Structure formats: structure tokens, C-alpha cells
């Protein structure tokens, strides 16, 4: 190696991208766009395209570019594994101290690249937030869905973000070294990083000037992301104390069940109301049992933590002197 | 190395130099090789800078900086994980514990104890918000865990390193180290230590932790009792719903043989309790699996503290609370 790479750019070309001549041209155009943006940063860089699955046209178009541009590298998956895996694979094959993930669709203008890298000055992670997402786009229903989504994130995690859908993020290499990424957790990387004590900022960037895609996200996408939020929030808040989470749900259910159950039994004992034909008996015992089960699950969770406590480090060390 | 002193620091910039001096002075009299580990738990003041400055002049001072505030237990765990001494002493960073007590604790370890716990017998804190809740909590912890320690909240403790390094430390478990360690049957001593009123900074605790302490206490009790035999424990739990379900089911089904109507709600309730019993047994099997695959090894614990005598039989000292006065 003659000169060390300072900045590694990871562009996952995943399931969102169709493999057609048009899509291939779009990605190639985008690559050129990014190269221009990266040149203006003034750091030595590499740009890794992760072609997720069988996309011959896109792959060919990118290979064509790689012939003339040494700094373009392509990693091709044999089958589609999704964004998070693509990012991790790209990360493992990269060497820059700064990692920059960029979307393979025209989301942000190339000017965003120097802005994001500059935003990393005093922080560990700079998250792009598209300028039109701050002011609101013309599509009302999309605005509402996006606001609802981020509101939910804020309520559940206590962290405020305005554009988690934007994949453009610059961060320090340490973040991916410490955070295991899988499933759809790449969307919530800022949350996970903040939880580990990294400083995260949002940088407002310009939107790519090509026409926005008409499709956007559908309801299924949002439903999946909402389920992802619950997973991430659980991981972030209760990983080390499952009993506090399960115990709360379990005891509320149990207490409700027990109250109704004792009322029913009380009536049977002192007023002679026959138990045999009361559905309330069924309902209350169901709740009691459910509460106990949830509680038992919490105990199992606690046992997992206990038996692995020596491997799962709860803390992250920034520096050690001597 | 003989000794590691682990001190978690959280916003204690004024105390750090004093603490450093007091600890070095108190150990200097003995001939032990030692290290002092300060764990900066994400302080927002200059604690880390102050400590780093001291560390630049003294190679025996090790400073660990957390990326953010994680709490006292992770800070202690980090210090212990990064220590190399045979004996580990932990204490608070707010100068309320007196470093002059360290040699007394170490002597006790040399006498053959695995864990020596400080007891702040003349505690200098507010009566209603600190001392009374603490009394109740200690009484309860003693009752529940069966380890009668008068002052679980006192951070000034000394451990034999091979014992404490195997005790899982997480959440807010530092309060329960003796209870957690009791799985291993350590020789435990409790000695009186000095306690000073807080000079600098703010107290970092409030009454809000009562709920957490209670939940942690219950968890520890349960884990300590079932960690080595979860299937048996869960099956015993399953016994009660199983009996309930048998009674209910027979009440519902027997009348059928007498040509009477079967009571559906009763039969249903019986079935529900039956599922609970099954669930618990299956849960026990999973717990067994978890314990088997985890790093926890039941045999580690007794072996940590047992001794072999000449005949080759294992002997073990009973857990005991031994109280000694500091000599000043």
C-alpha cells in the first residue's frame, strides 16, 4: 500500500434497486456524482459498491466504471442478504478510519458528502437529514407517515431524529467495530450508537436534484420498520435487565387476573353464585396464567444474562491510560 | 502484582487528587506492589483530565474512561476486568470511605477470608433519606439472600481476585456482590470502617432506587436458587398449577359418568392451568439449555473457595460474619 485510505465509502445496492438498464445507468451516474463529491473532501478514499444478489446489469455497469477508476471496488453477494449485511460486509473489506454509507438511489446531492465528513469533526457520527424532510415535501400523506414514524421512535427511545430513512451517514470506524448490525438495524444505527455512548449529530443536507421517485415507501415497509423499532428499543433499553421489562407486563397481567379471580371465588364462597357457568372464571384464570408465563420468560431472560454476563460487556471503554 | 484498588469516579474533580494522595499514602507503608485504577464513568466535569494528569507522573495509576455514564456496577466491573492484582479493593470516589482502612481490609484477606466487607458503623449521611432506607434494605437483603451483612451499600470491600473475577457483575449488582458470591460459599468477614461526611459534589443517589433494588433482590434470590438446577426448580413450580388443574378437571369430568352436564368453564380453567404447568416445565428445560451453553460453570464456584487437606477431603469454612474494630 502506498498511501493509506482515510475514508471508506460503502454503497449497498440492495433489493430496493431493480436490475434494469435504466437502474444500472442510474447507479453508474450516481457513482460518478459521488466521486465528484468525494474529490472535494480532499481525503484519500475508496468506494465500495456492495451488489446484493444477482444484478448482472448493475454489476456490469459498475465493473465498467471500476476499469477506469481504481478507487471503485465492487463486492458481489451470491444472493440477496439485505442492507445491514451489505454494510457489515463492506465494513470488513474496508480500511478507512472514517466510514461513509451512501444510498444507491439518488437521495442526497454530492455536496452532502463534504458536509457529512465536516460534521464528523467533533462527533463520532454524522447523520444526514434531507433538507426537504425538515420543511416537508409536497406529498402530504408521506409527510404524515414519516412524522408518525419518527414520533414513535422518539416516544419509545427518547432520541429525536428527523430522517432515519436517509442512508447517508458518516461515522467513525469504532462504531461498527462495537455494534453488531443485522436485520434492518442499519436504519437505527444512530440510536444504537448513541446508546453505546457515541456522539451523534444530524447534518442537514441538500436533496439530490433528480426527480424524486414516485413510489416511496409502502405500508408494508412502515409496518416492518415499526416492528424493528420495538426490537431495537428492547435491545437498547432492556438488554441487561429483561426482568424489568417482562416483570412489568407480567405483574400487571397477573394482578388483573388475580383480582377478578378472587372476586369470582369470593362471590362463590359468600353469596353462593355458582362458579360452573361463569366465563369470568375462564378469563381471569387466563390472565393469571399469562402473567405468570410472561414473568417466567423474564426469569429465563435474566438467566441468559446471568450465564453470559462475563462475555457481554455492559460498558464501552473510550481510553485507558497506563 | 499484589493489590489493585478500583475506584469508580463520576464528577469528582475535586476529590481525585486528594483520593490519589490518600490511597498512595495508605498503601505506601506496606511493601505490596499495587496499582490504582480510576474508572471515569462518563463524567461531565474535568475528572478525567485531572486523573490523566496524575497518571502521566505515576505509572501505577491506571485511568479508564467510559464513553458515557454507565453506572457504578459497570464501572467496578471494568476496573476489576482490567486489574492484575491478587487482591482487589473497591471503594467510592467521593472520599466518604477512608483509604486508611485499606490495610485493615487487606490484613483480613491475608487471614484467609475471600471477601471482606466494610461496615460504616458511624455513617455520616442524612437519617431519613439514606440511613433508614438503607437499614431496611440491608435487613431485607440479609433475610432474603441469607447472607447477613449489615451494610451492603458500603463500596469499601476487599476481594481475592480469583473469587471476584468469576462473579457476574451487571445492572446494579455491586450492592449484592456478597450475595452473588455466596453461591460460591466464600469466607466472608465484615469489619468496621470509617465514614466521612461528603465534602465535595452532590450525592448521586435518591430514594427512587428502592424499586430497582427490590426487583434485583428478587432476581438474585431466584437465580441463586435455580442456577444450578433449573429444570428441577421450574418443575417444582409447575406442581401447584398441575394439582389445581387435576382437581378442576376431575370436578368437571367426573359428573359426566353420573350422567350430568360437564361444566365447560371449570374444565376450561383446568386446561388453562394445565398449560401453565406444561409451560413451566418446558421453560425449565430451556433454562437448563441456557445454563449448559452459558459460560457459567457450576463446578467453578465451589472449587474457587474450597481447600484440599492432606487426606484429600474437601473442607470448607462456613460463611461467617466476623466483626473487627479499626485500630485508631
How far apart are alpha carbons B159 and B163 in whole angstroms? 7
DSSP string, B155-223: --EEEEHHHHTTS---TTGGGGHHHHHGGG---EEEEEE-B----SS-----TTHHHHHHHHHHHHHHH
Contacts of A313 in chain B (CB under 8 A): 81
pLDDT above 90 (res A109): no
Weakest-pLDDT range from A225-229, A306-310, B72-76, B286-290 = A306-310
- Give the three cell numbers for residue A84: 445491514
How far apart are alpha carbons A79 and A52 in whole angstroms? 7
Yes or no: say if B102 and B144 are a contact pair by the CB < 8 Å rule: no
pLDDT tens digit string along B208-228?
Answer: 666 777 777 888 888 777 777
Percentage of chain B beyond pLDDT 70 is 85
Measure the CA angle with vertex B105, ends B100 and B108; round to 5°.
145
Helices assigned H by DSSP within B1-94: 15-28, 47-57, 72-81
How far apart are alpha carbons B136 and B252 in whole angstroms? 48
State pTM to two decimals: 0.75
CA of A133 vs chain B CAs: smallest distance (Å): 30
- Give the three cell numbers for residue B261: 352436564
3-state DSSP assignment of residue B95: coil
Query: In terms of DSSP bridges, do strands A7-13 and A45-51 run parallel, antiparallel, or are they unpaired?
Result: parallel
Contacts of A243 in chain B (CB under 8 A): 215, 219
Query: In terms of DSSP bridges, do strands A72-76 and A45-51 run parallel, antiparallel, or are they unpaired?
Result: parallel
How far apart are alpha carbons A67 and B49 in whole angstroms? 50
Query: In terms of DSSP bridges, do strands B115-120 and B157-160 run parallel, antiparallel, or are they unpaired?
Result: antiparallel
3-state secondary structure B253-316: HHHHHCCCCCCHHHHHHHHHHHHHHHHHHHHHHHHHHHHHHCCCCCCHHHHHHCEECCCCCEEC
Weakest-pLDDT range from A165-169, A232-236, B205-209 = B205-209
> Quick one: which of B310, B314, B123, B132 has its CA closest to B207?
B132
Between residues A110 and B198, the one the model is more confident about: A110
Q: Give the pLDDT band of residue B149 (cuts 50, 70, 90).
A: confident
Candidates A198, A297, A317; nearest CB to B78: A317
Yes or no: say if A143 and A137 are a contact pair by the CB < 8 Å rule: yes
Q: Using the 8-state DSSP alphabet, how is residue A207 labeled?
A: B
Contacts of B212 in chain A (CB under 8 A): 244
Q: Give the pLDDT band of residue B312 (cuts 50, 70, 90).
A: very low
How far apart are alpha carbons B296 and B303 in whole angstroms? 13
Query: How long, in residues, is chain A?
Result: 322
CA of B132 vs chain A CAs: smallest distance (Å): 25
- Given an 8 Å threshold on Cβ–Cβ distance, is A285 in contact with B241? no
pLDDT tens digit string along A57-91?
Answer: 888 888 988 888 888 999 998 888 888 899 999 99
CA of B55 vs chain A CAs: smallest distance (Å): 7
Residue B222's pLDDT is what?
A: 80
How far apart are alpha carbons A146 and A310 in whole angstroms? 40
Closest chain B residue to A292, measured at CA: B276
Q: Give the pLDDT band of residue B316 (cuts 50, 70, 90).
A: very low
Candidates B60, B276, B295; nearest CB to A308: B295
Residue B64's pLDDT is what?
A: 93
**B269 contact A CB<8A:** yes
**B112 contact A CB<8A:** no
Q: Which contacts (CB < 8 Å, 24+ apart) does range A247-252 have? A: A247/A295, A247/A298, A247/B215, A249/A294, A250/A291, A250/A292, A250/A293, A250/A294, A250/A295, A250/A297, A250/A298, A251/A291, A251/A295, A252/A291
Q: Give the pLDDT band of residue B311 (cuts 50, 70, 90).
A: very low
B313 CB neighbour count, 10 Å cutoff: 7
pLDDT above 70 (res A14): yes
Candidates A299, A313, A315; nearest CB to B222: A299
Percentage of chain A beyond pLDDT 70 is 92
Yes or no: say if A142 and A136 are a contact pair by the CB < 8 Å rule: no
Residue B315's pLDDT is what?
A: 41
How far apart are alpha carbons A131 and A163 in whole angstroms? 10
Lookup result for grid cell 419518527: A150
Q: Which ipTM value was assigned to this complex? A: 0.75
- Given an 8 Å threshold on Cβ–Cβ distance, is B62 in contact with A322? yes
3-state DSSP assignment of residue A218: coil
Across the beta sheet with A7-13, the strand order is: A72-76, A45-51, A7-13, A98-101, A169-172, A125-130, A200-205
pLDDT above 70 (res B309): no
Closest chain A residue to B221, measured at CA: A299
Residue B61's pLDDT is what?
A: 92
- Given an 8 Å threshold on Cβ–Cβ distance, is A307 in contact with B222? no
How far apart are alpha carbons A211 and A299 in whole angstroms? 53
Amino acid at each position: 500500500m502506498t498511501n493509506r485510505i482515510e475514508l471508506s465509502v460503502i454503497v449497498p445496492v440492495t433489493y430496493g434497486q431493480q436490475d434494469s438498464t435504466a437502474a444500472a445507468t442510474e447507479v453508474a451516474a450516481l457513482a460518478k456524482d459521488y466521486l465528484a463529491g468525494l474529490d472535494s473532501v480532499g481525503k484519500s478514499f475508496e468506494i465500495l459498491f456492495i451488489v446484493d444478489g444477482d444484478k448482472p446489469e448493475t454489476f456490469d455497469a459498475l465493473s465498467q466504471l471500476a476499469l477506469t477508476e481504481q478507487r471503485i471496488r465492487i463486492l458481489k453477494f451470491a444472493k440477496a442478504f439485505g442492507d445491514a449485511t451489505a454494510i457489515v460486509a463492506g465494513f470488513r473489506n474496508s480500511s478507512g478510519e472514517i466510514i461513509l454509507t451512501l444510498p444507491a438511489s439518488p437521495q442526497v446531492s454530492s455536496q452532502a458528502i463534504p458536509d457529512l465528513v465536516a460534521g464528523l469533526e467533533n462527533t463520532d457520527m454524522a447523520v444526514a437529514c434531507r433538507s426537504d424532510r425538515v420543511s416537508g415535501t409536497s406529498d402530504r400523506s408521506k409527510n404524515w407517515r414519516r412524522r408518525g414514524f419518527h414520533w414513535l421512535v422518539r416516544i419509545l427511545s427518547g432520541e429525536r431524529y428527523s430522517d432515519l430513512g436517509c442512508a447517508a451517514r458518516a461515522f467513525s470506524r469504532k462504531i461498527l467495530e462495537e455494534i453488531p448490525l443485522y436485520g434492518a438495524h442499519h436504519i437505527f444505527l444512530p440510536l444504537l450508537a448513541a446508546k453505546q455512548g457515541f456522539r451523534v449529530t444530524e447534518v442537514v443536507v441538500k436533496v439530490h436534484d433528480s426527480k424524486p421517485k414516485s413510489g416511496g415507501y409502502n405500508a408494508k415497509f412502515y409496518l416492518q420498520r415499526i416492528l424493528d423499532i420495538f426490537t431495537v428499543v428492547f435491545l437498547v433499553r432492556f438488554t441487561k435487565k429483561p426482568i424489568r421489562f417482562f416483570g412489568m407486563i407480567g405483574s400487571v397481567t397477573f394482578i388483573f387476573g388475580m383480582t377478578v379471580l378472587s372476586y369470582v371465588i369470593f362471590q362463590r364462597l359468600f353469596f353462593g353464585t355458582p362458579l360452573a357457568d361463569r366465563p369470568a372464571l375462564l378469563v381471569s384464570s387466563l390472565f393469571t396464567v399469562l402473567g405468570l408465563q410472561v414473568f417466567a420468560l423474564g426469569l429465563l431472560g435474566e438467566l441468559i444474562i446471568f450465564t453470559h454476563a462475563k462475555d457481554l460487556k455492559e460498558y464501552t471503554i473510550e481510553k485507558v491510560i497506563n | 502484582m499484589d493489590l489493585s484498588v478500583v475506584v469508580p469516579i463520576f464528577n469528582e474533580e475535586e476529590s481525585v487528587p486528594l483520593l490519589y494522595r490518600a490511597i498512595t499514602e495508605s498503601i505506601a507503608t506496606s511493601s505490596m506492589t499495587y496499582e490504582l485504577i480510576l474508572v471515569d464513568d462518563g463524567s461531565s466535569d474535568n475528572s478525567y483530565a485531572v486523573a490523566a494528569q496524575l497518571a502521566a507522573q505515576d505509572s501505577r495509576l491506571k485511568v479508564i474512561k467510559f464513553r458515557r455514564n454507565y453506572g457504578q456496577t459497570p464501572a467496578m466491573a471494568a476496573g476489576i476486568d482490567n486489574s492484575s492484582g491478587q487482591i482487589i479493593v473497591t471503594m467510592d470516589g467521593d472520599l466518604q470511605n477512608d483509604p486508611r482502612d485499606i490495610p485493615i481490609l487487606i490484613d483480613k484477606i491475608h487471614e484467609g477470608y475471600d471477601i471482606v466487607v466494610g461496615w460504616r458503623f458511624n455513617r455520616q449521611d442524612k437519617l431519613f433519606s439514606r440511613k433508614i432506607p438503607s437499614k431496611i434494605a440491608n435487613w431485607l437483603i440479609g433475610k432474603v439472600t441469607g447472607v447477613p451483612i449489615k451494610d451492603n451499600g458500603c463500596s469499601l470491600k476487599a476481594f481475592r481476585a480469583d473469587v471476584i473475577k468469576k462473579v457476574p457483575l451487571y445492572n446494579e449488582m455491586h450492592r449484592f456482590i456478597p450475595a452473588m458470591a455466596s453461591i460460591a460459599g466464600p469466607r466472608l468477614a465484615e469489619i468496621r470502617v470509617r465514614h466521612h461526611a461528603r465534602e465535595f459534589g452532590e450525592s448521586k443517589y435518591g430514594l427512587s432506587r428502592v424499586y430497582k433494588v427490590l426487583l434485583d433482590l428478587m432476581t438474585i434470590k431466584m437465580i441463586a436458587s435455580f442456577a444450578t438446577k433449573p429444570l428441577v426448580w421450574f418443575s417444582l413450580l409447575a406442581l401447584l398449577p398441575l394439582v389445581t388443574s387435576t382437581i378442576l378437571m376431575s370436578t368437571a369430568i367426573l359428573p359426566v359418568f353420573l350422567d350430568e352436564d360437564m361444566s365447560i368453564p371449570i374444565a376450561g380453567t383446568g386446561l388453562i392451568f394445565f398449560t401453565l404447568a406444561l409451560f413451566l416445565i418446558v421453560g425449565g428445560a430451556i433454562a437448563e439449555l441456557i445454563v449448559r451453553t452459558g459460560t457459567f460453570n457450576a463446578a467453578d464456584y465451589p472449587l474457587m473457595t474450597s481447600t484440599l487437606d492432606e487426606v484429600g477431603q474437601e473442607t470448607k469454612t462456613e460463611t461467617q460474619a466476623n466483626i473487627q474494630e479499626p485500630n485508631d
